[in-house]
Amino acid sequence: MLDLSPADLEAIALSLKVGAWSVVCSLPFAFGLAYVLARVEFAFKPVVSAAILLPLVLPPVVTGFFLLLAFGKNGPIGEILDQWFGITVAFKWTGAVIAAAIMGLPLMVMGMRISIESVDRRLEMAARTLGAGPWRTFFTVTLPLSLPGILAGSILSFARSFGEFGATITFVSNIPGETRTLPIAIYALLQTPSGDSAALKLSLVAIAIALIAIVIAEVLNRRLPKTHERDDA
């Protein structure tokens, strides 16, 4: 059994909290973006899709740097939050949530978009023909059929947020008890003499949580409807 120190448990708990809050905060935005990309045709759609996926290909430290510029006390957003609401997110655990949400958003949007596109639109048309309005069709047909993919995308986003390092440490630094998440704790242990053993324990925890999340997401993806729009053979 892993003999984890109180500091290790604190880092794991913080990572779980950051990951959970990042999913909660980004879920409505991710679903809205996924639905628009899956169901609406508009100019510059490839550009919007590319912008959403940008955090996946950018170095995470670049994302963290721009977050620091935007949300720092002298940044355009950070200054408003500080002066108007007395809220500071830079170098706080809430800033870690923002960084994790942005880094996990592409996976959430991709999973949700695929799930919405997998719903046969003929079923939606049939519901409308039977008298259901747009909202009733959405809540009784589209949402239930795409729900496994929505959950899978959310779980993958959580796993990505749980393991976020580069953007987080750049934006909120490494403050024990405040911003030292599990990946940052592993990094800090590797910088100290004889820290390899403790780093290995935390790494095993990270692997286990990530593996569980991936397996759950895979099981949910298998429950997606396999019928796409196509002509009857």
pLDDT given at position 226: 60
Distance CA 23, CA 11 (A): 18
| DSSP secondary structure letters along 75-143 | SHHHHHHHHHH----TTSHHHHHHHHHHHHHHHHHHHHHHHHHTS-HHHHHHHHHTT--HHHHIIIIIH
Rounded Cα distance between 26 and 80, Å, is 21
pLDDT at 50: 93
CA 214 to chain centroid, in Å, comes to: 13
The whole domain housing 189 covers 6-221
Supply the mean pLDDT for the chain.
Answer: 89
- Residue 68 placed within a domain: yes
User: Is 27's pLDDT higher than 90?
Assistant: yes
Q: At what angle do helices 182-190 and 196-221 cross, to 10 degrees?
A: 150
Which 8-state DSSP code applies to residue 40?
-
Residue 229: pLDDT band with limits 50, 70, 90 = very low
Confidence of residue 110 (pLDDT cuts 50, 70, 90): very high
* Main-chain phi, psi angles of 166, to 5 degrees: -60, -55
Answer whether 172's CB lies under 8 Å from 95's CB: yes
182-190 helix and 6-39 helix, angle to the nearest 10 degrees: 130
What average pLDDT does the segment 37-52 reach? 91
Looking at residue 59, its pLDDT comes to 93
**Region 159-167 average pLDDT:** 92
Say if 42 falls within a structural domain: yes
Query: pLDDT for 62-95, tens place per residue?
Result: 999 999 999 988 889 988 988 898 888 988 999 9
Q: Residue 115 and residue 152: Cα distance in Å, rounded?
A: 9
Number of domains in the chain: 1
- The confidence score (pLDDT) of residue 228 equals 44
Check if the beta carbon of residue 37 is closer than 8 Å to that of residue 108: no
- Nearest-angstrom CA–CA distance, 121 and 48: 23
- Give a yes or no: residue 19 inside a domain: yes
Question: For residues 108 and 34, what is the distance between their CA atoms, to the nearest angstrom?
Answer: 9
- Asked whether residue 94 is assigned to any structural domain, the reply reads yes
Q: How many CA atoms lie within 13 A of 208 on its CB side?
A: 9
Residue 156 has a pLDDT of 92
* Alpha carbons 15 and 169: distance in angstroms, whole number: 13
Which of the pair, 227 or 161, is modelled with greater confidence? 161
Q: 227 or 66: which carries more pLDDT confidence?
A: 66
CATH code of residue 120: 1.10.3720.10
Mean pLDDT of 26-39: 93
The predicted model gives 53-67 an average pLDDT of: 93
* DSSP element (H, E) containing 205: helix 196-221
Q: Which residue is associated with the tokens 């309005």? A: 133
Q: Write the pLDDT tens digit of every residue in 173-223.
A: 999 889 999 999 999 999 888 889 999 999 999 999 999 999 998 888 787
Residue 232 lies in a domain: no
Who wins on pLDDT, 222 or 152?
Answer: 152
Determine, yes or no, domain membership for 228.
no
Domain-located, residue 233: no
**What whole-number distance in Å separates Cα of residue 89 and Cα of residue 103?**
16
Looking at the domain assignment, is residue 183 inside a domain? yes
pLDDT at 231: 43
The C-alpha atoms of residue 145 and residue 208 are separated, in whole angstroms, by 29
Residue 159: both structure tokens together: 């796993």
